[in-house]
Amino acid sequence: MDTQPIPERAPVVRPRRSPWAVRGEWLLELIIRFCGISAVLFVLAIFFFVFREAFPVLGREGFSLTQFLFSSEWYPTSATHVRYGTWALTVGSFSVTALAMIIAVPFGLGAAIFVSEFCGPRLREVLKIVIELLAAIPSVVWGFIGLTVMSKLIVDLTGAPVGVNLLNGGLILALMSVPIIVSIGEDALKAVPDSYREAGLALGATRWQLVYRVLLPAAKNGLLAAVLLGVGRAVGETMAVLMATGHAVHIPLGVLDSVRTLTANIAAELGEAPAGSDHYRVLFLTGVLLFSITFVVNLTADLVIRGIRRK
C-alpha cells in the first residue's frame, strides 16, 4: 500500500458528555466486571463455608482422617462407639457411577454418532428436541421412576429380594447422563471440519470407515470431554440415587446389592444431625470430599477440552 502524507488535522471539537453519562458508563462497567468474576467468588465462598463447617472435626480426639477415608464403618449415631468411615459410601458412589457409565457411554456416543452423521435433517431435529427434553426431567422424577417402575422390573426380571439397588441406581443415572453425552458428543462431531469427511469419502471410505477412522480420532478429545461431563453429572447426582439405590451402607458385591452414595448420605442425614455436632461436621467433611472428586473430574474435562481447541 502507498503511504500518503497524513494531512495536518484541525483540532477536533468533541461534544462534551454529561457527567451522568460518564458515571453511568463507569457503573455499568463495574457491574459487568462483577458479573464476570462472581463465579470465581461463589466457588471460593462455597468451598470456604463448607470447609469452615467441617474443619473443627479434624482436630477432634477419636477422629482420624485415615479412618474417615478408608474405613467402611459408618455408625454416626451409635450410643457406645461412634465411627465415621466413608469408604463404603465412596465405593457406592464410584460403583453406581461406573455402572451408569458402562451403560451410558456406548448408548450416548452411539446416539451422538447417529444424530450427527447418519440421520436425515428432519429426524435429527426431532431427536435433538426429545433428547433435550430428557435432560430437563427433574431428578426427583427419575427417582420416582427408579423407586416404582424400575424396582418392580428388577425384582420381576432378576428375582432380587429388593428392587432398589446398585443396578437400579446405575440405570437411572445412565438415563440421566445420556442426554449430556449425546449433546456434547454431537457438538464435538459437528466441530470436525467437513473437509475431513470429504477427504475420507473421496478416498472411497464407507460411512462406517469414515466414522471410526476419521471422525472418532478427530473428535476424540471432545468425545472424552462429553463422557467426563457425564461422569460429573453422575457423581454429583443426589435425589435420584437416594431414592433408587436402597440406602444401605455396604460395600456392594454384585449389581443387585443395595448401596449408599456420598451425596445421598449427606442429603439423608444432614437434617437430623444437630448443628455443630461431630456428626454434622463429618457430613460437611464428606461434602469436601465430594467437592474434591467432582473438581478433579471437571478439571480433567476442562483440560481435555482445552486440548481440542489448541489443535
Pick between residue 45 and residue 126 the one whose CB is nearest to other proteins. 126
Pick between residue 178 and residue 215 the one whose CB is nearest to other proteins. 215
Please give the Cα distance from 246 to 240 (Å, whole number): 11
The stretch among 47-55, 165-173, 188-196, 272-280 that binds other proteins (CB under 8 A) is 188-196
Q: Which of 203, 214, 204, 199 is nearest to 116 (CA)?
A: 214
CB 246 within 8 A of CB 164: yes
Residue 198 Cβ vs other proteins, minimum distance, rounded to whole Å = 6
Q: Which of 180, 179, 173, 181 is nearest to 150 (CA)?
A: 173
Residue 210 Cβ vs other proteins, minimum distance, rounded to whole Å = 9
User: In sequence order, which residues have a C-beta less than 8 Å from that of residue 91 and are 6 or more positions away?
Assistant: 72, 251, 252, 259
**Residue 213 binds to other proteins (criterion: CB under 8 A):** yes
Please give the Cα distance from 116 to 10 (Å, whole number): 59
**Residue 206 binds to other proteins (criterion: CB under 8 A):** yes
Of the residues 218, 228, 262, 264, which one makes contact with other proteins according to CB under 8 A: 218
CB 297 within 8 A of CB 228: yes
Of the residues 199, 296, 299, 303, which one makes contact with other proteins according to CB under 8 A: 199
Residue 214 Cβ vs other proteins, minimum distance, rounded to whole Å = 6
**Residue 202 binds to other proteins (criterion: CB under 8 A):** yes
Of the residues 205, 251, 267, 289, which one makes contact with other proteins according to CB under 8 A: 205
The stretch among 25-33, 152-160, 171-179, 207-215 that binds other proteins (CB under 8 A) is 207-215
CB 196 within 8 A of CB 129: no
**Residue 270 binds to other proteins (criterion: CB under 8 A):** no
The stretch among 92-100, 210-218, 253-261, 287-295 that binds other proteins (CB under 8 A) is 210-218
Please give the Cα distance from 214 to 196 (Å, whole number): 7
Residue 306 Cβ vs other proteins, minimum distance, rounded to whole Å = 17
Neighbours of 115 (CB within 10 A): 21
Of the residues 75, 217, 272, 306, which one makes contact with other proteins according to CB under 8 A: 217
Residue 108 Cβ vs other proteins, minimum distance, rounded to whole Å = 23
Of the residues 19, 195, 275, 310, which one makes contact with other proteins according to CB under 8 A: 195
Residue type, 153: L
The stretch among 17-25, 97-105, 197-205, 223-231 that binds other proteins (CB under 8 A) is 197-205
CB 88 within 8 A of CB 249: yes
**Residue 209 binds to other proteins (criterion: CB under 8 A):** yes
CB 171 within 8 A of CB 103: yes
Please give the Cα distance from 131 to 273 (Å, whole number): 39
Which residues are paired to 83 by β-bridges? 75
Q: Which residues bind other proteins (CB under 8 A)?
A: 193, 195-206, 209, 213-214, 217-218, 311
